[in-house]
Structure 1
C-alpha cells in the first residue's frame, strides 16, 4: 500500500520475480481552503482505502497474500478521539500552516524543524482548534492509522515517526522532551519500529471492512521515498535513486568511505541522504489545470518539443511552496522570469519542464560528494513515463539515467519489505536483486547540456537575487 500525497495505490506482487499481479489506484481529493493548508476529508479517505483494497482483493487469489506493508508520505497525521474516530480532517504532508509553531519549537528545543513537520501541525491545532484538541486522545501517523484499521495495533515505522520531529533516533522511541515541547503526552503516540517488523495480523473487523483474510501478517513499511528507492533497486552505496512526482526527491546511498553522516536506510548497515524540492511534476499539473485544462500531458509535451533547449532564455522558478534543500525557506515562491515578446505558450511549457530538472540538478550536486563514486542513477515517478522529459533530465544532469521496469516502485518496495518480514527472503538485498530490473537507459547529450547549463546559471543567479541564500 502506498499512501502518496495525491494518489492512493495498492499493488499485489509475486515476490519470486517482482511481477505485478494487480495494481489499483485512486486520486485523493485535497482540501486547500487557505494558503499553506492541505488536508483530506477523513471519512472520504478511509472510504477510498476500503474501496481500493476490496477492488484489488477481488482480482487476486487472496489466499496467496503472504503479508502487507505500507509506504507513506511523511508528516501526514490523523487525530482521533477515545473511540478512535477522527476529530478533524487529515493533515497532508505539505500542509505548512505551522510556521509560527515551528519557530517556537525551535526556540524551545534547539532543533530546526520545518513548518510542515507533524509537531508544528499538532501545536497549531492545540492553539487554533482548542475544541478539537480537547477531544483528541490519540495521534496516529497516516500509515499507522491504516495498519491500525487492519490489525488494531498502534505501531509506526521508524522513518515516518522521524518526520514528526519528535523521535529519539538513538532510542527508537518518541522523545519526552520533544513531545513536551509541542504539548503532546507520549501516551498519545504509537510505538516506533524498524521497517519489516510484524505489527500484528488482520482482525475479523479488518477482514470485514477491507476483504483481506483474517490472520494476514502486517509489517511496518517506510517513508514513500525510501520505499521507492528500494523498489528502484537502490541496494548498495554509490547509487542515487529519485522520484519526480509531486515533489522532486533524490536519495543517495552513502559510501561509508566518504565519512558523510546519514540516516538509517531500510537495508541494515546502510545509510542515506535525502535532498528534495517541494514541488516537482506538481507544477506541470498546476500549469495544465490553469492554462490548458483541455490538453493532456502528451499534447503539452509535444508543444514543449517545438522549442529549443533552454526555452530561449525563459526561466521558471519551480519553488511554488518554498524550498527544502539545502535549507528550509518557506518565503520562497515560484516565478517566470526573462519573458520576451517572442516567447509563446510552448516556451512556457518547456520552461516548466526544465525547471523541474533544474531542481533535480540542485539536489544531485549536493549529494554527489557523499557517494564516493556514482554507480547508478535511477528515476521513477509520473514524469518518468515521458521519454522526452527523461531525455531532458538526463542531459541536464549529465549522467546516464536508468528507469526501473516496475514503475510503481514504492508499492514494490514495501512488498519486498513484507517479503523479508514474512521470511520469504533472508535480506532486503536478496529481495531487490531477485525482483528489480531496468527497462530503459538514457545517455546524456553534451551539446544539449551546454545549452541547458546556460539557463541553469541564469536560474541560479535569479534565485540568489530574489531569495538570497536560499540555494
Structure 2
C-alpha cells in the first residue's frame, strides 16, 4: 500500500466546519476549521445561511491542502459528517429558498402535536421509531408549508445541511439513511420514505431526495470547486452520515455491546443496535447507522458541557476548564449533599420536556463554589446515566463505554463517568470525533478496507481504560436514586415560573 494517499473527513457542525486529512494508517496529516454565524431573529428561532456553510467549507479545504502540502491527486476520497435535522429547501434551480431551520430551533411545537394527532403516536413509533420533537425535520417542513406557503409551493426538494454542501461540491443530490432517519419521514426498518406519512400530512413526495448508503459514491469534485480549493476533479465523494452516526464510527461503535458517551455542548449516549424491528416508547432515539444494515439507540442531554461552561462563565469566568474540574474533584463524592439537575434549556432524555429548568438541591451554608462545581459535573453525568439505564432495561449489556468529546479530556471526569455508569470507560488515543468517522467512510468507499469494522481496527486505538471504584459506585447508586426524584418534584414548579422567564 502507498501510505502517501489520503482521504478527507468534513464535519459540518453547528458553529464551525472542521476538515481532517487522514492517511492510510489513520494518522491525521492536517486539520483546519472555519466558523460561521447563527441567526436568532426571534425567541426559539435558530437559523443559518447555507451559503455560509459552502463558503467556509471551501475555505477550510483550501487551507487544508495548502497547509499539508499534499498533491491534489493524492487525495483519493472525501466524505461528510453533519449536524442533523436542519431543513434546507431548494427551488427548481436548486437554490436555497430561505435560511436553513436548524436542529435546535423550537418554533414547531404546534406542528409536533399536529403530527401526533394525524398519524397517532403508536403509528409514528412503529414507522419512524421516534416521537415528534421540535428538533426533527418534518415539523419544520409543516411549519414552512403553513407559515410560508408561497415558498413551500416553489420547493423542489429538501436536504439536510451536509447534503447541501455535498451537492455544491459534486452537483449530485442525495441523502444517506443515517441522516434521513432524523427527519421523522423515513420508515426506519424498510429504509424508504414513508408514503403513509407524506400522504396523511399533505406533503408532496417529490420533495424527498434519493436515498443512499453512507459509503455510496455520489460524484467527484466539480472543476470550479477543484480550482478554488486545490482538490482534484478525480477525488471521489461519498455520501457520509449524521454527526452522531459518524461519531460512533470514529469511536468504533460498530457491533453489539458497544456504547459511546459523547460530552460536548450537549451530551449523547449511543449504543449499537443490529435490528430495526424493535419498538421503543420514544424515551431514546432510534436511528439508522452509517454502517449498512445497522442501527443505533441514542439518549440526549441537552445541556451537558454547556452546564459546566455556564457555571464557569457565570461564577468564575477567569478559571480554565481544566482547573475547574481539578478543584471540583477535590470535593468528596456527592458534593457534600448538593445535587444539580442540568435542565438549563429543558431536557430530552428521558423526559422530552421543554419547560423543565435546572435545580440545585441541598444548598448548605458550608458549601463553596467547588461543591457547586462538583455537583454540576455529577449532575451532567447522572443525566447521561439515565440514558444508560434505559439501554440496560432494554436488554443491552453496557460493560464498557467509549468516552469522547470535552468530557474525555479530563481524567478526573472520566473516573466519575466510570463510577456513575458502573462500567469501564475507554479513552481513545487520538479521538477526532465525527470528522474521523467521515474520513473512515471515505476510506472504505475508496476500497482501502472491506468494512468499517476493518477500518476501525486500524484507525481506532485505545489509549486508556478507567475502571469503576466499588465504594464510589455504591455512593453514586444512592445519589442517583435521589437525583431521579428531582424531576417529578420540580416539574410543576418550573411551569409556574415559566411566565417570569420572559
Question: Residue 98 in 1 paired to residue 120 in 2?
Answer: no
1:320 equivalenced with 2:329 (yes/no):
no
Task: Write the distance in 2 (CA, Å) between the matches of 1:27 and 1:403.
Answer: 27
Check if 1:364 corresponds to 2:388.
yes
Are residues 1:237 and 2:246 paired? no
* 1:25 aligned onto 2:40: no
Shift of 1:200: 1.1
Instruction: Indicate whether 1:4 and 2:23 are aligned.
Output: no
1:58 and 2:66 are equivalent in the alignment: yes
Please say if residues 254 and 370 of structure 1, whose CA atoms lie closer than 8 Å, have aligned partners that are also in contact. Answer: no
Residues 248-298 of structure 1, C-alpha deviations (whole Å, 9 max, x = no match): 212222477x98886543334544322222222122223333443333212
CA contact 2:177–2:290 (8 Å) conserved in 1: no
Structure 2 CA distance for partners of 1:115 and 1:67, relative to 1, 3 Å: same
SS in 1 for 2:448: coil
Q: Is the 8 A contact 1:72 1:143 kept in 2?
A: yes
SS at the partner of 2:471?
A: helix
- CA distance in 2: counterparts of 1:269 and 1:171, whole angstroms: 10
Give 1:204 deviation, angstroms.
1.2
In 1, Cα distance between the equivalents of 2:182 and 2:146?
21
Q: Is the alpha carbon distance of 1:30 and 1:314 closer, same or farther for their aligned partners in structure 2, counting shifts above 3 Å?
A: farther
RMSD value, Cα: 2.6
1:37-52 map, 5 Å: 37-52=45-60
Aligned residue number for residue 179 of structure 2: 160
Q: Residues 90 and 296 (structure 1 numbering): CA distance in 2 closer, same or farther, change over 3 Å?
A: farther
- Please report how far the alpha carbon of residue 467 of structure 1 lies from its aligned counterpart in structure 2 after TM superposition: 3.2
Runs of at least 5 residues in structure 1 that lack an aligned partner in the other structure: none
Once the two structures are TM-superposed, the CA of residue 28 in structure 1 deviates from its matched residue by: 4.3
Does the 8 Å contact 1:255/1:371 carry over to 2? Answer: no
Q: What do residues 139-193 of structure 1 show as CA deviations (whole Å, max 9, x unaligned)?
A: 2111110110110111111111111111133553322332345554222231111
State how far apart, in whole Å, the 2-side matches of 1:181 and 1:95 are.
24
CA contact (8 A) 2:132 2:184 kept: yes
Asked whether the equivalents of residues 8 and 25 of structure 1 are also in contact (C-alpha less than 8 Å), the reply is yes
Q: Residue 361 of structure 2 is aligned with which of 337, 342, 352?
A: 337
Alpha carbons of structure 1 residues 86 and 265: separation in structure 2 relative to 1, 3 Å = closer
Match of 1:204 in 2: 223
* Distance of 1:372 and 1:461 partners within structure 2: 24
Moved more, 195-204 or 206-215: 206-215
The alignment status of 1:186 with 2:211, answered yes or no, reads no
Map 1:143-292 → 2, pairs under 5 A: 143-254=162-273, 263-292=287-316
Q: Deviation of residue 380 (structure 1)? A: 0.4
Match of 1:349 in 2: 373
Partner of 1:59, secondary structure, is: helix
1:198 shift after superposition: 0.9
Distance 1:202 1:182, change over 3 A: farther
> Which runs of 5 or more structure 2 residues have no equivalent in the other structure?
1-9, 125-130, 281-285, 493-502
In 2, Cα distance between the equivalents of 1:448 and 1:183? 54
CA separation of 1:421 and 1:255: change in aligned 2, threshold 3 A: closer
Rounded Cα–Cα distance in structure 2 between residues aligned with 1:210 and 1:189: 30
From the superposition, tell whether residues 142 and 305 of structure 1 become closer, same or farther in structure 2 (CA, over 3 Å).
same
Greater Cα shift, 32-41 or 401-410: 32-41
- Tell me the SS of whatever aligns to 1:249: strand
Tell me the distance in 2 between the aligned counterparts of 1:313 and 1:65. 55
Q: Secondary structure at the match of 2:67?
A: coil
Query: Does residue 59 of structure 2 align to residue 14 of structure 1?
Result: no
SS of equivalent to 1:49: helix
Normalising by structure 2, we get a TM-score of 0.86
- Give the TM-score of the pair, scaled to structure 1: 0.91
Q: 1:461 aligns with which of 468, 481, 485?
A: 485
